[in-house]
Amino acid sequence: MKAIVYTRYGPPDVLKLTEVEKPTPNDDEVLIRTYAATVTAGDCEVRAFKFPMWIWLPLRIMFGLTKPRIPILGQELAGEIEAVGSDVTNFKRGEQIFATCNDFGAYAEYKCLPSDGPIATKPANMSYEEAASIPTGAYNSLHFLRKANIQKGQEVIINGAGGGIGVLAIQLAKYFGAEVTGVDSAEKLDTLRAIGADHVIDYKQVDFTETGETYDVIFDIFGKSPYARSIKSLKPNGRYLLGNPRLSSILRGLWTSKTSDKKVIWAFAGARAEDLDFVRSLIEAGTIRAVIDRSYPLEQMADAHAYVETGRKKGSVAITIDHED
């Protein structure tokens, strides 16, 4: 089968189209014929290995000290189940699905995944490309917004709202009844309005922590808002959600949560099938939609990674995977 493989860390051009062996599912696995994947910021971080120093060494040991231990990247996909293991009862051959790959591997024509993992039936009203763009944003947004215990009418601001997680977070926060402000660059603001943001802010023109406005929930997806001013921008009993926290923010957050009525939440999300099922129901009801900025064929993966690294993508960048047969 065809796959995008990288054998060293580095820029996008380390990604090469290669023929590799087609996988065979274990007894508890399904074999997925992949039709679409995405390029996330996380994929680019792992490929280039750009991480904060405090987690650099543990992650390097996990992913491979001298070269990548997992040669095929890609965290989310959509496709059709081609085969099932002998112990699988919850999926059958021919089912259309979308899924998260906890061990990467979506940049290939086929992928085996545990049948009890984060896999769900594809939304009937979505293309494969649209469905592939949902999982990472869905489980991360749900994780943090549920931790925040959002109540109807509360004010939520999402910093970094124009990416794959942000566009899902806006729509889910609206579903939970919040008044939502989206913060990102000027070229993304129309997209944020189109998916339901009540207010938008161009971060290059306005620092939301200096306006005097306060919020019940601040969801900082990339962990870039100034800590002290963000805490001051919270209402009493407010929650500060850190999607990609710095070590200093974690330590300060522990103190803030202990000594005040404000809570700092940074615990990482885990992908779950029930979250995908929940979001699928919202998609099929018309409550949530996908945002696809661009689509690239598998063969142009390096170009897709280069574009994502510009920081200009709105929503997701999809990868289409054609099969010769």
Instruction: Determine the Cα–Cα distance for residues 62 and 49; give it in Å rounded to an integer.
Output: 12
> What local confidence, expressed as pLDDT, does residue 305 receive?
98
Q: What are 260-296's pLDDT values in tens digits?
A: 999 999 988 888 999 999 999 999 999 999 999 999 9
Q: Is 154 exposed, middle or buried (0-12, 13-18, 19+ CB in 10 A)?
A: buried
Tell me what pLDDT residue 52 has: 84
The pLDDT of residue 300? 98
Tokens 């049948």 belong to which residue? 115
Domain with CATH 3.40.50.720 in the chain: 136-265
Closest of 129, 169, 156 to residue 279, by C-alpha: 169
Topology of domain 2-134+290-320 in CATH is Quinone Oxidoreductase; Chain A, domain 1 (3.90.180)
In this structure, the number of other CB atoms found within 10 A of the CB of residue 136 comes to 25
In 149-289, which ranges are continuous DSSP H helix? Answer: 164-175, 189-194, 227-232, 247-259, 273-284
Closest C-alpha among 44, 119, 37, 104 to residue 73: 104
Residue 306 confidence (pLDDT): 98
> Residue 125 in 3-state DSSP?
coil
Return the structure tokens found at 33: 């014929």
d(CA 188, CA 183): 9
Domain 136-265 has CATH 3.40.50.720: yes
Q: Which pLDDT score, from 0 to 100, does residue 144 have?
A: 96
pLDDT at 325: 67
Residue 90, token pair as written in the block = 């919850």
Would you say the pTM of this structure is higher than 0.85? Answer: yes
Judge contact between 145 and 169, C-beta under 8 A. Answer: yes
Angle between helices 135-148 and 164-175 (to 10 degrees): 50
End-to-end CA distance of the chain: 12
CA dist list (Å): 247 to 44, 224, 227, 242: 21, 12, 12, 11
Residues of the chain with CATH 3.90.180.10: 2-134+290-320
The label of the residue with tokens 């290669």 reads 18
Q: How far apart are CA 181 and CA 192, in angstroms?
A: 9
Residues in the chain where the model's pLDDT stays below 70: 325
CA separation for the pair 159, 25 (Å, rounded): 40
CA angle 226, 227, 230 (to 5 degrees): 80
∠62-64-69 over CA atoms, to 5°? 100
Residue 25 contacts residue 112 (beta carbons within 8 Å)? yes
